[in-house]
Amino acid sequence: MPTDESSRVAVVTGGSRGIGRATARRLARDGVAVVVGYAGDRAEAEAAVREITGAGGRAVAVRADVADERAAAGLFDAAQSSFGGTDIVVHAAGKMGLAPVAELDLSVLDALYRTNVRGTFVVAQQAVRRMRDGGAIILFSSSVVGLAFPGYAAYSATKGAVEALTLVLARELRGRDISVNTVAPGPTATDLFFEGKDEETVSALAAQPPLERLGTPADIADVVAFLAGPGHWVNGQVLRANGGIV
């Protein structure tokens, strides 16, 4: 793996919006070249690339269904052809669907599983096969896995699967100097978080942490940037970046 930050390359899924976009900007600010992976919103992905390149960074946007192994491979193909390889993989793409267990449409469960579980596994598989030694893989869970909010059973179950994968994958990468960690944000001010929530619900969630505010995408991006950095001793962990919610 290159030791010079300006020679490192990251693939960031879900990079067109929210936490993924903030992470792409943060890594680019550190000198990392970024492949901005997106599912469908080309305009937002290209806007993210313009933000990065306008600030002097290097980035390209690539469309990919993360649950499709051929499409996911295309993210790494782009990293190779545009920047010479992959050193960091940040899998921020995800889907949310909320309903009590008794009322959940099973097609919603299938969609959550496909993106959050299969998609994570596919991206992790491609990362292991394609990235250079000495890098970092950062996956995403959610603090709702521990908080056990009613209505979040299906979503929490898919994120629990990501947490189960984390340490196993870290151990499978013994000898390659590649760390694997998962970030589990608490309530964070993204479009996905605000969707379907009234002002009272948002205020109640913001009041839960001792820091008494919602997280921001930049808060989470800073955590990712730390985990993506070379030479640290954090591996196989789930880091609950949630402002102190138990």
Mean pLDDT (10-residue bins), the chain, 246 residues: 73 97 98 97 97 98 98 98 98 95 97 98 98 97 94 97 98 97 94 84 91 94 95 92 90
Which pLDDT value is given to residue 193? 82
CB count within 10 Å of CB 11 equals 30
Active-site residue identified among 38, 113, 152, 155: 155
CB count within 10 Å of CB 129 equals 9
Kindly compute the dihedral angle of the four CA atoms of residues 165, 171, 175, 178, in this order, to the nearest 10 degrees: 40
Query: How many CA atoms within 13 Å lie on the side-chain side of 138?
Result: 31
Which pLDDT value is given to residue 26? 98
Domains and CATH numbers, the chain: 5-239 (3.40.50.720)
What DSSP designation does 74 have?
H
Report which secondary-structure segment, H or E, holds 89.
strand 88-91
Give catalytic status of residue 155 as yes or no: yes
Which pLDDT value is given to residue 128? 98
Q: Provide the whole-model pTM.
A: 0.95
